[in-house]
Chains A and B, each alone.
Chain A
């Protein structure tokens, strides 16, 4: 890794601003460090030479000012760093959310557990990079030269000792850091897999417990943590080695300066004030570098997180193409011709050469065994999935256009959709229905719920993913949402699965009513009751 990750630098205005402000603040604090050392050395030597506090007052007065100024500068630097971290994290979170949503629409998203880990604990790993590492890096670049300059004016041999050992610190830092970098990336990867394993085990806990496997899984989680400990400790043994070398170099150079200065004092080649100033300044030259070393592995973890994040952000974008064609005017006929969609890991496309027409005012049912690509055909009509072969087009009196070439927003605006596993947001029943038409009145929402046959009050709260609703209730909620929209095209993926006969009849009646109003209805269905209301049944195979 480079000392400053250029992608983070570009990620928000925060980083560059922090570096600029930090440089000014660091220069000022370097001068104050030298001033404080000079005042203390002069004070101590004057007291010893004069045998008492005579003439000490002006020095103490100056010391008060210097200490107060150092304190204020330290405060300013840390506050600026925190604010920079916050703004960069915020920028990244927003970009991550946009990208994740776009990927999910295109069906290319990664695991949701990874995403959640990245957006929360993962991003926090960047904190130390900003609040500790970067300010320290600036201090490390600015403070040592100023201190060494003063050391040369004070005692040349001491300055030379420091100058000779100091460059070894960044050298070792880079050498050992190279070994740490790969290990850190691996560690983060292991942490993510472990987190995913956790979530999978916990979500499936009812299943595990029913098979009497819950306890065993708890032990397996313990065992995988133990493996993680072993591998992490191996990493840390190397990572901490860098700090060991750095501290050794730094403290040893301080000790060498003290011994050298002591011997020159005995010879009489050096005065007490200069000797004291030298031993006060020597550790100040290496301290910022030593601190950089100490912050190094925390920042490396943050950079590894940044890598995962930029892998998501900089991944190949979802194919959007130049889809901007207007939806032709007039009642919409959907025409699917020889449509095939290939899937990774499946030998046969699904659907495989599907052809059908869906006309306005009619209910067209797609039927067939599971896995033949009925839902995929719907996804193609929605414009979410691109056909591998064949076409899906919109035909009207005004012309013909392939779905993939239509303006996204305009086409989406024509569709009401009930997904096979409908989305339910945390909120109320009415919130969820209103998703399709935010400006709908309470009466309209109530009417949609009634037509979908869902006897839940609009203000009834629901949990995220509708975990407190039955599968049938979730589906009817989605149906109400679709009905509320009064869209020209209805795409319904098994809207009556999980419903009892009475509710099913109710929903099917609403579907017929939509067709009667002129909508083009495509419905994936299995059951005879549903197929019975179809104007046309397409056997998908």
Chain B
């Protein structure tokens, strides 16, 4: 419940819209109750054959209530939904902002299939907290309390009976139902995430699974996941039906008791016939309003679970908190110095220990070592994604001032340090948009020139829409090598003074790699370049120093 409150508070900006929606919702529900009450009063009074004029007020009121309800409901629903969407926008921005801080350093916090459910499904689903829980709940409560007060004025026992049945149908039963459903809801969410993850794995690996004859086995396993999920949903089916059944019992039973009690009051003379009809029939209308609560309560456990997961992401500790006094990375050329540096991902064992080197401004160095020794962690540390475990990694300006990436002002850091990933992410957008990430104001000419430099000029010429060509999800329309080069073009455009290149010769044949490395290093002349690679043979004659971080370096003699 605490998580639900946290999420509700995130929507504080829409509180006046929510308040207005509650007021309108309560008025609409009150109109329905009043229609039932005045009709009952009118019928019993009319049966006493009074002059018609005595009934005029009631007749006009009945007609007005008949019209008012629909109009009030309409405005209320629009307001509620509008408020919910505004809150949702704020929520999404918060969540993406959190991903910005956490994801580069803490990939494990965000699962693969789970991630989608969390960001799209669950955040969107939380709109129901406002639309289905908060507004109708508060509106129904207001009308319920008002009706109990009104009936108590007519016949105290009538008010008491209504209060008891309302609490039973509107509070006790939903709470009990929620308790029953909670276990099911808790079980179902992981099963659902598992199903989704397995489905995505099945699609990702479909071709290999098919070749290895494992596709049918995997589909059967997925069907078993599905059975588990369906079984959980079936088990909660009877509980949901039970809640509304008790609500019907409470409403009918209440009318029954009210009739019995008011008959006695009529005999004693403390209630007239019209009052009796009101006391018996109004509670039925109030129960119809409160019945909105029953489906809401069934949803609460799932919403609470989503809220908890959201809060978990919102509360996760930042591995690289924004420094209290961020230091601006100085303009001009930068050197990179490592002193007794130990590196590792947060929450995992250190990968590289006691590493020391110095790359002077404008110099170029290679970090080499066998696969899997954690060379890429060096890139992440230099980019400020993860803090150094021990020792220091510093950007050093000409005047000798030094800044650790995690202590730097982020905007100036991103201008200073550029990165070409080992597995570059290509966004599902145009070629131009993918390049302009690095420099939003770059001209088309600049983009073409960058592509030319990474030898994608011919590729660009062959594209149907040139720079405006869409590249698919995960850069699906690109081959591995093209993807790598596009990422290199991005780095060239960024204008960074220190550039880290992670495995640039991946997916490219040696002849092309040789040309590419020469082109790249020429294009990056004057900048400080650190190339991370396991191919010492390709890089060692092109850089001024090689830092070997692995015990088993690749002896150049292996070159054919």
Contact = CB atoms under 8 A, between A and B. Distances in A.
- Same assembly: yes
Interface string A367-382: 1111100010001001
B307 interface: no
A494 to B, nearest CB: 7
A285 to B, nearest CB: 15
A351 B124 CA distance: 45
B248 A70 contact: yes
B261 to A, nearest CB: 9
B372 A470 contact: yes
A502 B554 contact: yes
B227 A90 contact: yes
B188 to A, nearest CB: 11
Given A272-B47, A532-B560, 5 more contacts: A56-B263, A233-B85, A258-B39, A258-B42, A382-B211
Nearest to A499: B371
B219 A101 contact: yes
A251 interface: yes
B96 A217 contact: yes
Nearest to A61: B256
A512 to B, nearest CB: 15
Nearest to B210: A105
Contacts of A104: 202-204, 206-207
On chain A, which size bracket covers the interface? 35 or more
A412 B215 CA distance: 11
Contacts of B205: 423-425
Interface stretch (A77-85, A143-151, A321-329): A77-85
Interface string B16-45: 000000000000000010010011101111
Interface string A497-513: 11111110100000000
Given A44-B277, A82-B240, A367-B509, A212 B200 contact: no
Contact of B473 (A94, A101, A111, A368): A111
A228 B127 CA distance: 14
Interface in B56-112: 58-59, 62-63, 65-67, 69-71, 73-74, 77-78, 81-82, 85-86, 88-90, 92-93, 96-97, 99-100, 103-104, 107-108, 110-112
Interface in B384-423: 385, 410-411, 413-415, 417-419, 421-423
Interface stretch (A273-281, A303-311, A441-449): A273-281
B172 to A, nearest CB: 15
A429 B18 CA distance: 52
Considering the complex of A and B, which 6 residue pairs feature the smallest CB-CB distances, nearest first? A255-B66, A212-B414, A370-B481, A67-B252, A423-B205, A526-B509
A508 B477 CA distance: 30
A479 to B, nearest CB: 13
Q: For chain A, what secondary structure do more than half of its interface residues adopt (helix, strand, loop), or is it mixed?
A: helix
B256 A60 contact: yes
B267 A52 contact: yes
A206 B425 contact: yes
B378 to A, nearest CB: 14
A5 interface: no
B248 A244 contact: no
Given A87-B230, A346-B462, A501-B537, A382 B207 contact: yes
Contacts of B65: 251, 255
B560 A528 contact: yes
Given A71-B245, A422-B208, A526 B510 contact: yes
Nearest to A273: B47
Interface in B169-208: 192, 195-197, 199-208
Contacts of A500: 369-371, 534-535, 550, 552, 554
Contacts of B236: 82
